[in-house]
Amino acid sequence: MTATLRIGTRRSALALYQTNLVAGLLRQAHPDLDVQIVEIDTKGDRIRDVPLPQIGGKGLFTAEIEAGLLDGSLELAVHSLKDLPSSLPDGLVLSGSPTRAAPEDALVSARHASLADIPSGGVVATGSVRRRAQLIVARPDLEFVDLRGNIDTRLRKLEDNGWDAIVMAAAALDRLEMPERITERLRAPDFVPAVGQGAIGLEIHQGREDVEAWLAPILDPETTLATRAERVFMRALEGGCSAPVAAHASRQADGEWSFHGWVSSTDGARVLAEHVTGADPVALANQVSERMLAAGAREIIAS
């Protein structure tokens, strides 16, 4: 009898692209596996006119999908890993990730060649507390407004509202084949990405060895280890998906690992940032988080 694997996903174009990517990898690895995609509305998708931090609660884009894993109507959930809280519901585990896309943020502007070129008093839109805080540090002379919606909606708002620029994940534009819309890629150390940004998170029910076996051939060990380190850092600081916490782990050409950790107050007035290198990214994440906690990171995040 043919085995069936049902994948839960959000309905957005990016979510469906990522889910179809995963489904394609699974079908290629297991030609006899019946892979089905189940589209699900989440709270974060239904409430589009309120800034994310004001909606409150964890798992704004994941809870309804996770419910399907828990009740057995799904075998796999595909998430943008940056949307997945550091602590998962009892009974669920993160299996890993396929190869990561670009982790950095992207500045999108029809008027200016870079962030530095935006004149004082210019307006930049973003829906992320972290991005806003980093932008405030880099350009305190700009005005920042909230931005919600899917990728097409965000790009349309840029034009309709006459803003100078918007900032979003580069991976979203790369995956939707719109890299030409990227004006400037904002990279560390000044712009450290969200934990897991650019990576796809594959979440399953604990104990499903059959699903683990199906997923094993499509997981990328380097991406999985890097994002594990980033999530260890976020969990240690108790930073949720909407907190001004950022981390990025990457393997360098010499085989060593680089780890950037960054936290701030929501207004960007207080910042802790560190960059370390070493052989084990998880050890680096623990090292940086311990030093930041000793320096008052939790109080800074809460302020």
* Domains of the chain by residue range: 4-99+199-219, 105-186
pLDDT of res. 112: 98
3-state secondary structure the chain: CCCEEEEEECCCHHHHHHHHHHHHHHHHHCCCCEEEEEECCCHHHHCCCCCHHHHCCCCCCCHHHHHHHHHCCCCEEEEEHHHCCCCCCCCEEEEECCCCCCCCEEEECCCCCCHHHCCCCCEEECCCHHHHHHHHHHCCCCEEECCCCCHHHHHHHHHHHCCCEEEEEHHHHHHCCCHHHCCEEECCCCCCCCCCCCCEEEEEECCCHHHHHHHHHHCCHHHHHHHHHHHHHHHHHCCCCCCCEEEEEEECCCCCEEEEEEEECCCCCCEEEEEEEECCHHHHHHHHHHHHHHCCHHHHHHC
CA atoms of 65 and 283, how far apart (whole Å): 31
pLDDT of res. 150: 87
Q: Which amino acid is at 276?
A: V
CA 281 distance to own-chain centroid: 18
152 is catalytic: no
The CB-side HSE value for 255 (13 A sphere, CA atoms) comes to 1
Q: Which amino acid is at 198?
A: G
Identify the active-site residue in 32, 45, 83, 90: 83
pTM of the model: 0.91
The architecture (CATH level 2) of 105-186 comes to 3-Layer(aba) Sandwich (3.40)
Burial class (CB in 10 A: 0-12, 13-18, 19+), 302: exposed
pLDDT of res. 55: 46
Residue 73, number of CB atoms within 10 A of its CB: 12
Q: Find out whether the peptide bond into 189 is cis, omega within 30 degrees of 0.
A: yes
Q: Do domains 4-99+199-219 and 105-186 have the same CATH topology?
A: yes
Name the fold adopted by 4-99+199-219: D-Maltodextrin-Binding Protein; domain 2 (3.40.190)
> pLDDT averaged over consecutive 10-residue blocks of the chain (303 residues)?
91 94 98 97 60 53 91 96 91 98 97 98 96 96 93 94 97 95 96 97 97 98 98 86 87 96 94 98 98 96 86
> Which residues share a beta bridge with 250?
258
> Which residues share a beta bridge with 124?
144, 165
pLDDT, tens digit, for every residue of 240-278?
Answer: 556 799 999 999 999 999 999 999 999 999 999 999 999
